[in-house]
């Protein structure tokens, strides 16, 4: 049930139940990090494999030592630069953190989300929240309370409505290996912005055999409709005569396609705006019973890289 009443979320979470919560990136499916019951509910509801670890959400940086140990100086600088915000740090875990959260690893992923309702909620709770994105495993992440309800209708008792997610794409994930920073998942903060704070990053984006992040498993973030990617949408549209085609475009619409079947991510060519609109646009197109979706690849820089990464994983 969708609600704006924070007390309903407090009651559910305190009683080892789960609740959907808004963040600035996407909606999360949250539970008490110290409750095995709540953590198991998250995995069951999402149909998420246990090898996929969860992100811990803290109310502020001061609580970091509750979940992590030996935090490197570079991580502190990143936290100071970007928290609260869409940056997840992978750090050595505190022994009190459940193996369910970390998938048995010795590291834990953690961030401070930047959403007023969820920060208010975290301040009322005596424990941090573990929260994956609030979608069934493999599907497009939700950026509104209505998306969450569509996925978990009559199953999820509390969906805390904080409006449309301001960023619209998941957090960027950074870890540290041999004292060097590594980007594991492209996200709402561009690699360039992070490099301005700590210098050059290493990249470990794809590892399908032993994924460090589900964002690394290809065929993630996928709509049900078949999707094709191209830098020349009109040319590809002509290869499917007679088909009902939806198009996902960066800035310009195409004259001979019904307007209903077009999604323009940012008429002003703003990559931040495009990222914010991506998932909602994909979900709208996916609900139109189309034969296929053709998506335009964006410029490969800044958040364009993040958007292209997600589009690449949306291919079935």
Residue with Cβ nearer ligand TXA (90 or 183) = 90
**DSSP classification of residue 133:** B
Distance CA 203, CA 205 (A): 6
Q: Is 59 in the site for ligand TXA (CB under 6 A)?
A: no
H or E element that contains 217? none
Site string for Mg ion, 129-148 (x = CB under 5 A): ----x---------------
Among 12, 18, 38, 53, binds ligand TXA (CB under 6 A): 53
Q: Where are the beta strands (DSSP E) in 161-291?
A: 172-177, 180-185, 202-203, 227-230, 245-249, 262-264
Cβ closest to ligand TXA, residue 135 vs residue 262: 135
Give me the 243-272 binding string for ligand TXA, x by CB under 6 A, dash otherwise.
Answer: ------------------------------
Piece of the chain touching Mg ion by CB under 5 A; list 67-75, 128-136, 192-200, 270-278? 128-136
Looking at beta carbons only, is 6 or 205 nearer to Mg ion?
A: 205
Distance CA 108, CA 113 (A): 16
- Partner that binds at residue 162, options Mg ion, ligand TXA, none, CB closer than 5 to 8 Å by kind: none
| CA 158 to centroid of chain Cα atoms | 20
> Which listed option, ligand TXA, Mg ion, none, makes contact with residue 204 (CB within 5 to 8 Å by class)?
none
- From residue 265, how far is each of 43, 47, 127, 292 by CA, in Å? 32, 30, 38, 18
Cβ–Cβ under 8 Å, residues 73 and 88:
no
Residue 168 binds which entry of Mg ion, ligand TXA, none, CB below 5-8 Å type-dependent? none
What is the three-class DSSP state of 102?
helix
Question: Looking at 13, 19, 54, 97, which residue binds ligand TXA (CB under 6 A)?
Answer: 54
Closest to ligand TXA by CB, 191 vs 290, is 191
- Between 29 and 290, whose beta carbon lies closer to ligand TXA? 29
Nearest CA to 174 out of 22, 72, 276 is that of: 72
Compute the least distance from the CB of residue 16 to ligand TXA, in Å: 19
The residues near 148 (Cβ < 8 Å, ≥ 6 apart) are 20, 27, 134, 135, 142, 156, 159
Contact partner at residue 262 from ligand TXA, Mg ion, none, CB < 5 to 8 Å by partner kind: none
- Alpha-helical runs (H) found in 72-156: 73-82, 99-102, 116-124, 145-151
CB–CB of 116/137 below 8 Å?
no
* Interface ranges with ligand TXA (CB under 6 A): 23, 25-26, 28, 52-55, 86, 88, 90, 102, 105, 107-109, 113, 131-133, 170-171, 173, 175, 184-185, 212-215
* Interface ranges with Mg ion (CB under 5 A): 133
């Amino acid at each position: 049930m969708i609600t704006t009443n924070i007390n309903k979320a407090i009651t559910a979470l305190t009683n080892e139940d789960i609740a959907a919560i808004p963040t600035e990136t996407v909606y999360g499916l949250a539970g008490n990090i110290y409750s095995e019951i709540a953590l198991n509910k998250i995995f069951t509801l999402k149909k998420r494999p246990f090898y996929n670890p969860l992100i811990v959400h803290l109310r502020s940086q001061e609580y970091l030592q509750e979940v992590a140990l030996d935090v490197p100086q570079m991580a502190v600088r990143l936290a100071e630069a970007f928290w609260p915000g869409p940056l997840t740090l992978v750090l050595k875990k505190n022994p009190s953190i459940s193996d369910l959260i970390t998938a048995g690893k010795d590291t834990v992923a953690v961030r401070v989300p930047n959403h007023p309702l969820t920060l208010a909620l975290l301040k009322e709770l005596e424990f941090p929240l573990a929260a994956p994105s609030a979608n069934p495993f493999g599907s497009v992440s939700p950026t509104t309370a209505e998306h969450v309800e569509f996925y978990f209708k009559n199953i999820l008792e509390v969906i805390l409505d904080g409006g449309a997610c301001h960023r619209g794409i998941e957090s960027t994930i950074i870890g540290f290996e041999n004292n060097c920073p590594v980007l594991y998942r492209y996200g709402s903060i561009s690699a360039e912005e992070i490099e301005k704070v700590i210098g050059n990053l290493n990249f470990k984006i794809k590892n399908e055999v032993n994924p460090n992040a589900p964002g690394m498993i290809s065929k993630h973030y996928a709509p049900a409709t078949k999707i094709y990617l191209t830098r020349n949408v009109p040319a590809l549209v002509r290869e499917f005569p007679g088909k009902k085609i939806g198009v996902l475009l960066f800035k310009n619409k195409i004259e001979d396609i019904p307007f209903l079947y077009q999604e323009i991510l940012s008429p002003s060519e703003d990559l931040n705006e495009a990222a914010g609109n991506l998932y909602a646009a994909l979900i709208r197109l996916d609900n139109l019973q189309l034969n296929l979706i053709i998506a335009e690849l964006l410029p490969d820089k800044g958040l364009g890289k993040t958007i292209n990464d997600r589009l690449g994983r949306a291919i079935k």
